[in-house]
Structure 1
Amino acid sequence: MTQQTIDSRLQQVQSRIQAAAARAGRDPATIALLAVSKKQPLAAIAAAHAAGQRAFGESYVQEALDKITAFEAPGIEWHFIGRVQSNKTRQIAAHFDWVHGLCSPDHARRLNDQRPADAAPLNVCIQVNLAGEASKAGLAPEQAAELLALCQTLPALRVRGLMTLPPPAEDEAAQRAPFRALRALRDTLASAATPLECLSMGMSGDLEAAILEGSTLVRVGTAVFGPRPYN
């Protein structure tokens, strides 16, 4: 994919974010774009970085480590957005800036204990499975408070907010419902000490609905990079 194509795609996604923010009466600067770069070649990440993109999301630890090692660039942020596995927590804790799918007390403790002493606290979002889908990770909404309380005792973790991955929905009203529920849960759990300012929700097909319901970070892959060149 050419630099011009990546530039154009990023501009189109930013235009969608700006339009949705305008509909919601929000400042588009409060909505971050996470470019989901899993299964994309390093050249595509380099092109997006050259176009001004700084945050990239990866789901597979070894693939991500290869990219992180090969592409050191100013201001780049690496977000782990896959399912956290116990045998991968040391690598995740050592090499990522964010984790978007925390949903296990054991994983929280491991990430805290394995975070390098000279690194900043690991930014985490607690994943909530609003629809109770067996195929997806995430806590039931009523379990989120307990994990949040644990994380608040772990100094190498910084809980930034909540994340969800709802089932696909056809129309905007149906898309908005789970995002509204996550925002309501955040409002219930947030405190002065832990404001939970990040709502990690919305992807290529439903980012408008997510922004209308308060998303502060949209995770976009296909709309930025096009179809994945390999699976």
Structure 2
Amino acid sequence: MTDTMLSESLASARRRLSEALAAAGRPADAARLLAVSKTKPAGMVREAWQLGQREFGENYVQEALEKQVELADLDDIVWHFIGPLQANKTRAVAESFDWVHSVDREKIARRLNDQRPEGLGPLEICLQVNVSDEASKSGVAFEELEDLAKAVLSMPRLRLRGLMAIPAPAADLASQRAPLARLRQALETLRQRFPEARLDTLSMGMSDDLEAAVLEGATLVRLGTAIFGARSSSHH
């Protein structure tokens, strides 16, 4: 992908987000674009940074760490870990990321808290919720969400910010909105339950359901292919 192509696709993604926000009657700055850079080379991330993108989402720990080393001079870049997180990878994530979207059990949260270096600020956390009741999908069940939130709120090196979901694909807008509405309602319930917490984040919406997500209050939408082009097939 050439520089001009990335510039155009990023501009197009930003335009799509701002049009979705306008259609939903929300302020222009109510949601941010998270550029999902998994499988993309560090050079492409640098180009997107030069075009003003600051927040990047990664799914694979080792690949992300290599990019972070190469991009260490970009001191205002914000790294979000958005993939499934195994216990043996929590230390690297706690040491090298700003956000983790995929916390779905207390054991993982506890490890991230204990392994977060003192010199860094608290790790920003979203709890991943299984909104489509898919047996194969990671995510905490709605009925266990409050207990997990309470546990994370008690951990000093973590800062609970909100919820994340990857709903099952749905064909039409109404079907896309339904699970996202449940996620929004779950966040509102947590806000009432824990008024002292800063629960301001709904990480939801990807290329196929961005408009539905923005209508339901998404504050971070995760776009990969729409910004960086089709994923390279050489992923390890």
Which residue of the other structure, out of 209, 214, 217, is the alignment partner of 1:214?
A: 217
> Corresponding residue for 1:183?
184
For 1:200-222, what per-residue CA distance to the aligned partner results, in whole angstroms no more than 9, with x for missing partners? 00001111110001000001001
Q: Report the Cα distance in structure 2 between the residues aligned to 1:178 and 1:28, rounded to whole angstroms.
A: 24
> Corresponding residue for 1:154?
155
> Corresponding residue for 1:70?
70
Are 2:177 and 1:163 equivalent residues in the alignment? Answer: no
Are 2:236 and 1:223 equivalent residues in the alignment? Answer: no
Paired residue type of 1:219: R
- Is the contact between residue 35 and residue 57 of structure 2 (CA under 8 Å) also seen in structure 1? yes
Q: Measure how far apart 1:7 and its partner are.
A: 1.0
Q: Report the Cα distance in structure 1 between the residues aligned to 2:115 and 2:42, rounded to whole angstroms.
A: 27
Q: Measure how far apart 1:74 and its partner are.
A: 3.0
> Corresponding residue for 2:101?
100
Q: Report the Cα distance in structure 1 between the residues aligned to 2:133 and 2:175, rounded to whole angstroms.
A: 16
Residue 29 of structure 2: SS of its match in structure 1? helix
> Corresponding residue for 1:35?
35
Paired residue type of 1:52: G
TM-score by length of 1: 0.98
Q: Report the Cα distance in structure 2 between the residues aligned to 1:173 and 1:223, rounded to whole angstroms.
A: 22
Q: Any stretches of 5+ residues in structure 2 without a counterpart? A: none
Q: Percent identity?
A: 50
Residue 29 of structure 1: SS of its match in structure 2? coil
Residue 208 of structure 2: SS of its match in structure 1? coil
> Corresponding residue for 2:200?
197
Q: Any stretches of 5+ residues in structure 1 without a counterpart? A: none
For 1:176-200, what per-residue CA distance to the aligned partner results, in whole angstroms no more than 9, with x for missing partners? 1111110011101113211411000
Q: Report the Cα distance in structure 1 between the residues aligned to 2:101 and 2:205, rounded to whole angstroms.
A: 13
Q: Report the Cα distance in structure 2 between the residues aligned to 1:169 and 1:132, rounded to whole angstroms.
A: 14
Paired residue type of 2:120: A
How many residue pairs get aligned? The number is 231
Q: Which runs of 4+ in 1 moved over 6 A?
A: none
Q: Measure how far apart 1:145 and its partner are.
A: 0.3
Q: Measure how far apart 1:223 and its partner are.
A: 0.3
- Is the contact between residue 81 and residue 93 of structure 2 (CA under 8 Å) also seen in structure 1? yes
- Is the contact between residue 130 and residue 167 of structure 2 (CA under 8 Å) also seen in structure 1? yes
Q: Measure how far apart 1:132 and its partner are.
A: 1.6
Q: Measure how far apart 1:42 and its partner are.
A: 1.4
Q: Measure how far apart 1:134 and its partner are.
A: 2.1
